[in-house]
Amino acid sequence: MKAVIGLGNPEVKYLKTRHNIGFMVVDKLLEKNNVTLSEKFQSFFGKKGDILYLLPKTYMNLSGRAVVELMNFYKLTVRDFIVICDDFTLELGTLRFRKDGSDGGHNGLKSIINLVGSSNFDRLKVGIGPIKENMPVENFVLGNFSQDETEKLNKVLSLAADSIEDYLRTDIQTVQNKYNKKHF
């Protein structure tokens, strides 16, 4: 069993923000695979075959709570899931798969690392940058994509969803070699 976990914030006002790109990628996967969601594990949760989909409703900074509930229920290890999140240090159009690593200042990753007790889980970082000069990080990540970015965003979401499907069929090394670059 594998879990695909998208990070974001659950309120409508955050729906189209940069910080919610993890939710957006999982939404694209759900649409492609005709998966419906229910509420479970403090999250929006879906399952198709041996793939679990999780969108924590705990808000970004407490994402680890939902992940731990899912892990405990399904007896998952840190090697059984991938987390999809935003990265403002990467340009929009860039994907970066990582096998493990630090939280990189991302509060969602920090929460997961702290609560599962390990940073040894796979992740897909989706670029949302570049950050505007002299703009506070919080304002940038909680801001919406511009009209000009929307066309590129749609391409990124489709590519990211495809890359996750490749990951589920293959392994982290294969998708790193294929997708870790700027695409658009």
User: Model confidence at 83, in pLDDT bands (50, 70, 90)?
Assistant: very high
Give residue 107's pLDDT. Answer: 95
Q: Read off the pLDDT of residues 36-46 as tens digits, 9 standing for 90 and up.
A: 999 999 999 99
Tokens representing 18 are: 């940069």
Please give the average per-residue pLDDT across 160-171, as a whole number.
98
Return mean pLDDT, the chain.
96
Give the tens place of pLDDT for each residue, 125-135.
Answer: 999 999 988 99
- pLDDT number for residue 132: 84
Residue ranges of domains in the chain, CATH in brackets: 2-182 (3.40.50.1470)
Q: How far apart are CA 148 and CA 145, in angstroms?
A: 8
Mean pLDDT throughout 98-127? Answer: 96
The Cα-based distances of 90 to 8, 32, 49, 67, 68 in angstroms read: 17, 26, 33, 25, 28
Query: How do beta strands 43-48 and 51-56 pair?
Result: antiparallel
Cis, peptide link before residue 56, omega less than 30° from 0: no
Catalytic residue chosen out of the listed positions 5, 7, 9, 19: 19
Q: What is the pTM of this model?
A: 0.97
Catalytic residue list contains 19: yes
